[in-house]
Structure 1
Amino acid sequence: MWSLQSQLFVLCISVSCVAGAAGLILLFGYEGRHINVSCSYAHGYESYEKYLCKGDCGNSDVLIMTPETKKNKYSIHDDKMTRVFTATISDLLLMDAGKYWCGVSRDGTDIYTEVKLEVKPDSCCDNVIQIQSYEEGSVSIRCPYESENRNNRKYLCKGTQPSMCLQRALSTSDSKANTRFTLTDDKLARMFTVTVTALTLKDSGSYLCGVHTNTGLDVFSAVELEVKEWCCVKSKHVSGIVGNPVTLQCPYPAQHVDNRKFVCKGDERNNCTNVVTIASRFTLQDDISLHSFLVTVAQLEAGDAGTYWCGSDSRWGAGNYTNIHLSVVSLSNTIVAITAAANSTLLKGAALPLILTAATALLVLIVALVIVYKCKGAEVFTDRNKPEAEEVMQAADIYGNQEVAMFSKRKISQQQRACGHYDDVDSDQPDYENFTKTEEIYCNESFHEATKR
């Protein structure tokens, strides 16, 4: 019987017969998703078989038939109360697009409803609008649409899949799904706008503007939103030594050249304390040519360590600030820490050579600095007397007999008297005493010249 019905159906199609057809159903689906084909039937056919077929609807074209419920990727359900049976096609492919028929089996010619299915890729779009903003701020996403969709539902979702957009809508024209997302529709300009407030870095990503249509295949436009981290023109790490000065450099936009510059300290920019005050150790100097200002901290203290914010816009506009992390080091504490580390690892021995090397290098540096500082005052004096000292040393090496030594000693006594030193020379003192001491006795250039002669 089914074969005869099929033959009659094919014959009916070939001659454009419409007596058994009950309208046309247009459906649109997305690749990878599913589509429901719902077909109604008249009273009295509740107990009849229902089926879904494709193309010419021959025996091999029947996809599923009641009383089956599932076959491959097709399923069917007959709701006899509403007299509607629904066939579902899962995992849609582009090749699934085409002509289908909802059929009700009966004696003679079956009852058919034509179904036309269009399958689209589940992605969007060829053109993507790029938008940038900063965290804690706001952004407006503008979505144009065609005039025929002026009264249709509008919505915004996050992602790139049109098939799931409406279900995941963040805001729609007929409801508020999220308090941070507000949708307004300007029908005259044919554009709806979604404003997003209190932006976070997680808001970055792809969005779809959707306009619902009666066909079931909504119209979309794509937006890519990038939310940048609040702060800064630049983030810096600066270190200094207790007791020494340190300078913090803060660049600013060229258009802020006439703005008031400031620097404050605190973990959060909204709760920081101004540090440049009258009679403070912090001074601010603006360098217009470099579009930056310098903050100098005199005589660093351990308590100066922390987070600083410097800028040129009192409204805290994002992107106009420099965030500086200042660390303060004490040399004495560093030496103590190195010594403690050496003691704690003494038994282990593995890290001791490295620690001792570091400690030695630091101590040598400190000693060298002290020596250089002390020698600065005696540098001129030493250089001035160096020739005479060397000459006396040479004389002591050449004249090795006692008479020459005594003569030299008498010369020294004469120098002492000339310089106002009247202490008696100890006769028991060896006559060939180290003559480098004469460098401490010579007191004027005239005497030096006399000695040379």
Structure 2
Amino acid sequence: MKSFLLLILSLMTGCEASDVVNGCREGWVEFIFKYPDANGNYQKIDLLKADKLIIGSIRKDVWENKGRLHLHHDTKNRQFNVIIKQLQQEDFGEYRCELYGTIESSPERVNLGWLFAAGYQQPFHQTAYRTAKTTISCEDNGNKDDFRVRFFCKENGPICEDVLSTKSALRSNGSFTLTETERGFTVSISDVSAQHAGVYWWGVESTEGSYRAALRKIQLKVEAYIKSFTRSPTIGQRITYWCEYPEGALKERFICKGEDPSLCERVVSTAQNTGRFSMTDETVKRNITITVTDVTAGDSGTYWCGAESETETQRQYFYHRLVMTVVPPVLSTTSSPSSSKQPATVSSYGFDRASVLEIALALSLDVMLVMLAVYLGYRGCAPCKRTEEYKAKLTGPCNSNTR
């Protein structure tokens, strides 16, 4: 290591304001530098490697490309961007730019720095599932003395658009959340949708922003559908369910629990059955049977049927999802014989005995009042009738005065 550092220092001798950039093979590196003269009016730029012209441009505010080399004159931000993609062994070395105010003017030289090969990290593929959550792990050597900025970006044409980085106080951007760890950082994507699919990179950026170097490529695939089912067992019950796995899942199968399958905790596997969870594997039918005994309230959650991947570019994949909601047992509604308070007996019409008695008494009282009124009315009219009869007798023919 000491001899390697001495080699870097000796190669840098005589280079003004140059940086040592560690690039990863198959990755990319971007040099960013402001105008040497803030008020300058530059018409042409040439990129040289070891004093050899490799790309030049007189165009402004557009990307100029030559194979894996990309050059951009950004007049708005008064800066130049140089990107070298899919780094190869021949790309490592010293770079500088020559800027011209006019085509005939003498160039201004800007040393971009030395580009060295860094540790190679194998690209990997990760599968996410719509409406679920997924977490991408971005880990390096964990050098605590490395104060460079870590970034996470999504590839879009010749550039990689920033999603999140450690230089910003904002660690959440829409559905993306960045969390620093001891060995690097993780990026979680919640409520995954089809638009999240694509190529992502994570890497390091110099503290002053003069370069960015991508260290690992992540190909994120979003599955539109995964077979899902639900179960609602009662506490204390036993539950059994099945997962049929696809061809090629020859490594260890497992069940894990958690909303995020990339971070879910394994509860049982074909290699080990533990506790109340057990699994049997019918390899001929490509089917695993999972049994959970003495279900508890804590067993509620999301479970994933998964398998270890045989390829180095993808760690694991999943093919079934179970959402378990454990419910309490149904309580009996039968009253206790020792209860001192007897429940009301309800008829089919919705009246209890007390209500019926009250209604009957009220009706009886009304009938009695009506009968009394009729009787009194009859007694009150009888004298009047007798008086009329007496008058009739007095005026009859037998009592008339005849002379």
Smaller-chain TM-score bracket: 0.3 to 0.5
**Structure 1 or 2: more helix by fraction:** 1
The TM-score with structure 2 as length reference comes to: 0.41
Higher relative contact order (CA 8 A, sep 6+): 2
Larger radius of gyration: 1
